[in-house]
Each structure stands twice: as structure tokens, then as C-alpha cells.
Chains A and B, each alone.
Chain A
Amino acid sequence: MLLRALAHARTGDKGDTTQIAVFARDPADYPRLARWLTAARVGAHFVRLSPSAIDRYELPGLAALNFVLHGALRGGVTRSLALDGHGKTLGAQLLGMEIDDAPTCD
């Protein structure tokens, strides 16, 4: 199944850095989300981004993960040649990730 079934997301930018916050629709799914959604998986999903580093912040109280992709916006919106210089569409693209839907036991 797609990540979109479990989560919603919002994307922001700061200079050459994009930030994607991912939220479990149902907080009960947060542990599963936190296990699945590693920085490495996020990096691998965006095959045409080449961030210099990815930071991942866990916010269990909000059932959220915040991913910060440094150096991912081709210089940032003020100078990027990209159509979406802000990277605003990236969060929705992350929701297109296939996730393992096999039941897990904790």
C-alpha cells in the first residue's frame, strides 16, 4: 500500500534545504510509521534529488516525523532553474512511497 493511506505531509523550504513533515493519520500507526520511514528510505525514494545530508526528527507527541534534506533545492527558490523551485510538491511525492503492509507484531 501507499504511504498516503496512513499519512499526510507538508513541505516547506529554507534556502537550499527542503523540509518534509509526515504525520500518521491515526496516531496508533505512528510506531509503524517511525519504524518504516527511515532517512535512508526517504533518500532512496527521491531518486532525482541529491541532498548532501538528511536529518530525521521524531515527534511522538504529534505522531510525526520531520525530514530535513540539506542541499536538495538546487540553490533554493530564489535561483533554482527547477519548475518547482520551492520543492513544494515533494511531500505528496513521498506519500507515493510503497510501504510494507504486512502486519507487524511488537
Chain B
Amino acid sequence: MIDNRKTIRIGAGAGFAGDRIEPAVELTEKGDLDYLCFECLAERTIALAQRAATHDPASGYDPLLERRLRAVLPAARERGTRIVSNAGAANPLAAAKAAVRIARELGLGGMRVVAVLGDDVLDALRAAELPLIDRDGMLGDIRPTMISANAYLGARPIAEALNQGADIVLTGRVCDPALFLGPMIHEFGWGETDWTPLGRGTLVGHLLECAGQLTGGYFADPGFSDVPGLARLGFPLAEVSADGNAVLTKVAGSGGRLSIANCKEQLLYEILDPAAYLQADVTADFRNVAFREIAPDRIAVTGGDGAPRPATLKVSVGYRDGFIGEGQISYAGPGAVARGRLALDIVRERLALAGIPVREIEADLIGLDAVNRTAWSAEPAEVRARIAGRIDDAEAAGQIGAEVEALYLNGPSGGGGATASVREVVAVASVLIDRAAVTTRIVHEVA
């Protein structure tokens, strides 16, 4: 018999690596939280971090982890709020050691920090031949430049770390909702085949994982969908019951607004088939989810469900994919579009004349057709000509920006504000592996 009177309060402290710091402090101080979870790992972040770690074994975790922990740890310790984050990135163990050092520096001795290891499956993939799941091709096609491979772990090792008394749990790659599901499994004892509560817990984690995107971020459209106080947007928290249903809310007085319309948008965000959201712990089903406003900024979420988990785990493979050279220059006034187009044509011709080995090129006018993919077209007051090309060699990639800058003296009339850049591309592809090929373990550190 599940006791639904017990609820736990879980807050979202960050929705991406670069997210704002203060909302997590506000949540910790005023949210009466049991758990605060930080989602800090974008698709390719781990690949970039992996490269850092090969140069310095003490690095490879999220560089903002230290700032985040310093900001929230004193209040979290005082209130007994436990922290879970994937900010361990490519090196959760180094992140745990850093967390211990910070706790000591803050005079918070005795804090238990646990690192979750095992998502790094690079060695297991060195000889494997697997199809890529998000496009045509095989793993072998990208193996020569492969630099990282991380399996999306589930919530079980996080729950186990909490069972063993962790105050802070730091992971590498895990399914984002698992950061939130781990504390629920720990608190409510859901078993490995309790598909309905696991599906509901995943639903709550999914709604929270992008933090401010639930409370009014990524939503405002003045005159149509107005949101107050976005500059001091409050991050969300969920009061979760033992059956996995929850009430979503935020700290009173914080900016933003928790609305049903916004919750519905976030429910489907990055969801392909709403009947089958594939996770390491469960296949979640969002088809019959319902939201009900029970008070301002308080919304009940029910109707999530779950089905047996997939037999495989998804693996993100990071690989080097050449360089992107880019240049931009602006034109304004009558004829801006024609001069912008002429500028792009000149750069294309220059690259061809110089024999620059461009694998792929994108040339467009910001203000007209750079992000616009529809037929909508109107002569704007200004355009910014942008040309970007993929090239294997960094020096040759620099030639694109150089040719754009040369337009000042050699191109159309009235070009201004030219910029040039080159960046190395670390791309990500995905494969599926048997879950038996992944072994997780947890490592304790004590401040």
C-alpha cells in the first residue's frame, strides 16, 4: 500500500551548462527543498570535456560546477537539501574531489559526495560495428576521429548513491529526467518493473529538466503570451507523491509564471512519439497527461504512464568533424539585399579561385533567409551577409572570414561591421548498445 501523504520537494537548479546561478540560490533558500537537481550537459559538452581531461586529469567536469556549488551549498547544508547533477561530465570523480574541496573551504566538513561512473563506453566501442541511429552510416565511418562515447545511464545508480547517504551526487551522462527520478526511487522504493510510477517520475523529471522553460522561459510572445519578470525568472520545483503524480510550483515572488499552456509546451519539448519516450529506466507514455491549475503558480500533473524499458541504451559518440570558417558583414539602406547577395557571390567566387577545399557551404542574409525557412519575404532595412563553410584544415577555414573582411575594400558599396571566426567542430552521432555492456559503479568522497 503506497502512502500518498508523503511528498518530496525536488527543484530544478539549472537547465543547461551556462544557466543562471541565482534562481538555484533562491530555490535553495526559499523552496524548502529535499533535492536540488542541476542538468548541465548538452549533447557535445561531454566530448569537449573529454578532450580537456586528456590534457589534465583533474579537469573534464563542468567548469561552472564550482560556482554553482559555492552559491548553494551553505543553504543546502543548513536545510538538508541534497544535490544531484550531471556536471561531472567526462570526469565525475574529479568533480567529486572538487566538490569535497569546496565543501571544506566553506567549512562544511563531513559532506558525503558520490561520483557515478560507468557511462564512458569508449573502449567498448573501439572494435564494435554498429549502425548510427539518427542518420545513415555505421560507427566505423566516424571511428577514426571518435573522441568520446557515453551511454545514457538511468536513475538506479543515483538512487543507490542516495541510499548510501550521499549529500551530493555527481554523474556523467545520464538520461536528463533520471537526475530527478533517482531521488524519487530512493524515497519511494519503486522497483525495476514499477512501470507506471517510473513513467510518472520520468514525466516530472522531463518537465523540470529545462528549469526556467517550465516557468515562463522560452514562452513569452508579447501581446499573445505575456510573462512577467523574465529577468528574475524563478525555477520550478515539484512536490512529488509516492504514486508519481505531482504538483508543480515555484517560489512565491519569483519572476515568471507557471501556466498550463507553458506546461503543455514543455511536456512535448524534444518529444518525438508521445507514447514512447525512451529512457534507460522505462518507456514513458505522455499521451494522457493532464494539467490542472489548483492555485496561481500551482499546477497538478497527472496521467503519466510507463511501459517496459528498452533493451538497449543510447550512446552519444563525439567525433572531430573538421572546422567551420565563417564571416559576416552588414549592408543597409536601399538595395541592401542586392548588395548582400553580391557580397556572398564574390566570396564564393574568391574561394573557388583560390582552390579552398570547402566540403559544404552555407551563404545567406541574416534578416531575410538565414533562419527563415518559409516563403515569407520582405525587403528589410538591413541585412547581414553570412557565409560559413566546412573545411578539414583550420588554416584554410580561416580564409572564409578573411575573404569577407576583404569585402570592405574590394566588395559592394557600404559594407560594415565585418567579423570572422574559425571553430573546430566536435559533432555527435548516436548508437544503441546492449545494457549488459555497461557496468556502473559509485565512488565515495567525504569532506
A contact residues vs B (CB 8 Å cutoff): 4, 8-10, 12-17, 19, 21, 23, 25, 45-49, 55, 57, 59, 61-64, 66, 68, 71, 74-79, 81-84, 89-90, 92-93, 96
Contact = CB atoms under 8 A, between A and B. Distances in A.
A8 B426 CA distance: 34
B372 to A, nearest CB: 7
Contacts of B221: 4, 8, 92
A46 B374 contact: yes
A42 B430 CA distance: 27
Given A62-B267, A83-B364, A16 B135 contact: yes
Contacts of A12: 268-271
A91 B419 CA distance: 29
B289 A83 contact: no
Given A19-B270, A45-B374, A47-B375, A81 B287 contact: no
Contacts of B272: 14, 17, 19, 55, 66, 68
B371 interface: yes
B264 A64 contact: yes
B389 A96 contact: no
Interface residues of B, number: 51
B373 interface: yes
B225 to A, nearest CB: 6
Given A21-B268, A76-B428, A83 B134 contact: no
Q: Which of A13, A23, A81, A82 has the most chain B CB atoms closer than 10 A to its own CB?
A: A81
A48 B390 CA distance: 20
Contact of A48 (B265, B271, B369): B369
14 contacts: A8-B219, A8-B221, A10-B218, A10-B265, A17-B272, A19-B270, A46-B373, A47-B375, A59-B268, A66-B271, A78-B425, A83-B386, A90-B373, A93-B373
A4 B222 CA distance: 12
A83 B376 contact: no
Interface string B408-428: 000000000000000001111
Contacts of A25: 261
A77 B425 CA distance: 10
A81 B389 contact: yes
A2 B371 CA distance: 19
A11 B376 CA distance: 19
Given A25-B261, A79-B321, A57 B430 contact: no
Contacts of A68: 272-273
Q: Which of B221, B268, B270, B273 has the most chain A CB atoms closer than 10 A to its own CB?
A: B268
Contacts of A83: 364, 366, 370-371, 386
B268 A47 contact: no
Given A61-B290, A68-B273, A79-B390, 14 more contacts: A8-B219, A10-B218, A10-B269, A12-B268, A15-B134, A21-B271, A47-B373, A47-B375, A48-B372, A59-B274, A68-B272, A81-B360, A82-B362, A93-B376
Nearest to A93: B374
Interface string B275-296: 0000000000001111000000
B266 to A, nearest CB: 7
Interface in B92-109: none
Nearest to A44: B375
Top 8 A-B pairs, shortest CB-CB distance: A12-B270, A15-B134, A21-B268, A81-B362, A10-B265, A79-B427, A84-B371, A48-B373
A78 B430 CA distance: 12
A47 B374 contact: yes
Contact of B371 (A8, A15, A17, A82): A82
B374 A48 contact: yes
Interface in B244-274: 261, 264-274
A45 B374 CA distance: 6
B373 A66 contact: no
B134 A93 contact: no
B364 A75 contact: no
Q: Which of A15, A17, A55, A68 has the most chain B CB atoms closer than 10 A to its own CB?
A: A15
Q: Which of A12, A47, A49 has the most chain B CB atoms closer than 10 A to its own CB?
A: A12
Contacts of B370: 82-84
Nearest to B43: A78
Nearest to B384: A83
Nearest to B359: A81
B264 A78 contact: no
A75 B369 contact: no
B361 interface: yes
A23 B261 contact: yes
Contacts of B261: 8, 23, 25
Nearest to A68: B272
